[in-house]
Amino acid sequence: MHIGKALALMSLSSGALSFKIRAYSGKDCSGSAHEVNVWDNTCRNTDVPPTNSFRVLAYGAHRQRAAFYDQSKCIGGQPWTDFWADGGSDTFKKDACINLDFDASAYGSRSA
């Protein structure tokens, strides 16, 4: 009985993390807005609005990078950019408005 409780507690405390943003359709955090979670070490390419700018709401785990892609898949080769998503970036800061140079339609999180 105690083992079951211990396992449940461990699974809750070591649960997946994600970075969370509020994505905007326009520059300078204007236009329609949509909140999006991107779980660590995943690609988010569904339910992603065309994003010209965003505001960071929460950081991911230690050593995670947040990437933004112009196609609806998380691969390099096309315009894309990334930031430290764990709070260690001088750009990817909570409540800061971050402009992209393209319309992002997929977001990724990867361990670096």
The per-residue pLDDT for range 26-85, each reduced to its tens digit, is 999 999 999 999 999 999 999 899 999 999 999 999 999 999 999 888 886 678 999 999
DSSP 2-64: HHHHHHHHHHHHT---EEEEEEESSGGG-S-EEEEEEETT-EE-SS---EEEEEEEE--STTE
Owning domain of residue 39: 17-111
pLDDT of 21 higher than 60: yes
Tell whether 12 is covered by a domain.
no
Tell whether 24 is covered by a domain.
yes
* The pLDDT of residue 12: 41
Q: What is the per-residue pLDDT across 84-112, written as a single tens digit (0 to 9) for each?
A: 999 999 999 999 999 999 999 999 999 98
Tell whether 53 is covered by a domain.
yes
Spatial separation of the C-alpha atoms in residues 2 and 91, rounded to whole Å? 45
Tell whether 7 is covered by a domain.
no
* The pLDDT of residue 71: 86
Tell whether 4 is covered by a domain.
no
- pTM score above 0.75: yes
Q: Any idea what the CATH number is for the domain that residue 96 is in?
A: 2.60.20.30
* The pLDDT of residue 62: 93
Total domain count, the chain: 1
Tell whether 74 is covered by a domain.
yes
Spatial separation of the C-alpha atoms in residues 36 and 80, rounded to whole Å? 18
Cβ atoms of 20 and 37 within 8 Å: the answer is yes
Pairing of strands 80-84, 106-111: unpaired
Tell whether 105 is covered by a domain.
yes
Tell whether 10 is covered by a domain.
no
- The more confidently predicted of residues 66 and 3 is 66
DSSP 70-91: SSSS--SSSSEEEEE-SS--SS
**Please, which pLDDT band fits residue 16 given cuts at 50, 70 and 90?**
low
